[in-house]
Amino acid sequence: MTIYDIAKEAGVSASSVSRVINNKTGVNPEVRKKVQKLLKKYHYTPDAAARGLVSQSSRIIGILIADIRNIHHTDGAYYIERKLAALNYCCVILNTGDDDESRAQAISILEQRRVEGAVLIGSSFQTESVAQAIKRHLNNVPIVMINAFLDAPNIYGVLSDELHGVEACVNLLAEKGRKSLAFVRDCHTPSCELKVEGFRRGIRLLGQTEPWIYDSHGTTAADGKRATLEVLKDHPDVDGIIYSVDLIATGGIRALYDLGIAIPDQVSVIGVDNSIYGEICIPTLTSLDNKTFDSSIAACRILIDCLENRTTTRQMILPSAIVVRESTP
């Protein structure tokens, strides 16, 4: 069903139908009524692609996420999709995985679809290869990165100050009298590096001779459990463990529970993300809120500002905040 079909049945030209569809003035009321009736009768819906072709605007926004199953990123995607849908944009969500090639390919796909903007969620997009792909394929539409930043005229970034956040976690534990702290990291993204650096700084100021840093080699609870057992084996005197994400922290809690080590009496535990995982485990988990949701709101605002030709903030850093729960004294 095209506007020509409608036009023919109404006995008018396609332009008149178009005018009715787009609520333009200068149409005989009778014609308008007749056309509207036919539009309704056939449940006519304009073809977005054809419209986009002539108007040179796709009203498509790309959302790139390493893995949509990661709830830490999904919250943001949800907010952004809802907000943009209300403005008549359609969101194409692509899971890119963690290799540079598929990230670049995803960016190329966004170009094919002629997206009017994109949001890249997660620090894993902060790589030279992504920067190149954006320069090649998406250099004239606004790109907003959440928890990452790349330097290009059309790239905007909303970051969370996880470095000082983790440093504050160390300080919190120190104030409570903890003396031997370990950090378990789950990956090697720029964001995770910042967390590690925050831990190092905190430890340095604290005077602990050496920062105990472990790698869980994965982001599941089981990975966190395994890494925790390693920590305990090497350092039976550890009295505080900070994990780079909540999920591996829950594995840590389980490991301690199995060994009969009391939380927080013997060992304090802190996670990062302030996710639902931290709320449902027992004891509930103290966590560094890195403001994903606020970041998404800010990112969305920046994107909309760009789409509507308003000047906006190029880069912003949101302070993180510790949410204290039962796993710390």
Partner DNA sequence: TTGTAGGCGTTATCAC
Partner DNA sequence: GTGATAACGCCTACAA
- Asked if 185 and 216 touch (Cβ cutoff 8 Å), the reply is yes
Should residue 17 be labelled a site residue for its own copies when binding is judged by CB under 8 A?
no
Closest by alpha carbon to 284, among 246, 315, 255? 246
AA identity, residue 283? P
User: Which C-beta is closer to its own copies: that of 78 or that of 179?
Assistant: 78
Interface residue list for DNA (CB under 7 A): 2-4, 11-16, 18-19, 21-22, 24-28, 30-31, 46-47, 50-51, 53-56
| Binding partner of 71, given DNA, its own copies, none, CB within 5-8 angstroms per partner class | its own copies
Would you give the DSSP letter of residue 285? P
Crossing angle, helix 3-10 and helix 29-41, to 10 degrees? 120
Closest distance between its own copies and the C-beta of residue 38, in Å? Answer: 15
Question: Is residue 156 within 8 Å of residue 278, measured between CB atoms?
Answer: no
Q: How far is the CB of 17 from DNA (least distance, A)?
A: 7
CB of 202 to its own copies, least distance (A): 27
| Min CB(136)–its own copies separation in Å | 5
Looking only at the bridges linking them, the beta strands covering 90-95 and 60-65 are parallel
Report whether 149 contacts 155 (CB < 8 A): yes
Q: Which does 138 bind (CB under 5 to 8 A by kind): DNA, its own copies, none?
A: none
Residue 25 touches which member of its own copies, DNA, none, C-beta under 5-8 Å by kind: DNA
By residue count, the chain amounts to 329
Identify what 257 binds: its own copies, DNA, none; CB under 5 to 8 Å per kind: its own copies
Residue tagged 């470095």 (tokens): 163
Residue 83 near its own copies by CB under 8 A = no
The answer to the question of residue 205 lying near its own copies (CB under 8 A) is: no
User: 262: alpha, beta or left, given left = phi > 0 and alpha = psi -120 to 50?
Assistant: beta
Residue with Cβ nearer its own copies (199 or 268) = 268
With tokens 């199995």, the residue in question is: 258
Residue from 35, 192, 281, 299 in contact with its own copies (CB under 8 A): 281
Residue 101 is a binding residue for its own copies (CB under 8 A): no
Strand residue runs (E) in 239-278:
240-243, 268-272
Provide the sign of the torsion angle of the four alpha carbons 243, 246, 247, 251, taken in this order: positive
Binding of residue 90 to its own copies (CB under 8 A): yes
CB closer to its own copies out of 133 and 174: 133
Four-point Cα dihedral 58, 61, 64, 68, nearest 10? -110
Phi, psi at 118, each rounded to 5°: -150, 155
Residue placing its CB nearer to DNA in the complex, 3 or 322: 3
Q: Of DNA, its own copies, none, which one sits near residue 251, judging by CB under 5 to 8 A according to partner kind?
A: its own copies
Instruction: CB nearer to DNA: give 5 or 230.
Output: 5
Rounded CA separation 324/144 (Å)? 31
Comparing CB distances to DNA, the nearer of 2 and 266 is 2
> Token digits for 160?
């969370």
Is residue 152 within the footprint of its own copies (CB under 8 A)? Answer: no
What residues make contact with its own copies under the rule CB under 8 A? 43, 45-50, 52-53, 58, 67-69, 71, 74-75, 77-78, 81-82, 85, 90-95, 108-109, 111-114, 136-137, 221, 247, 250-251, 253-254, 257, 276-277, 279-282
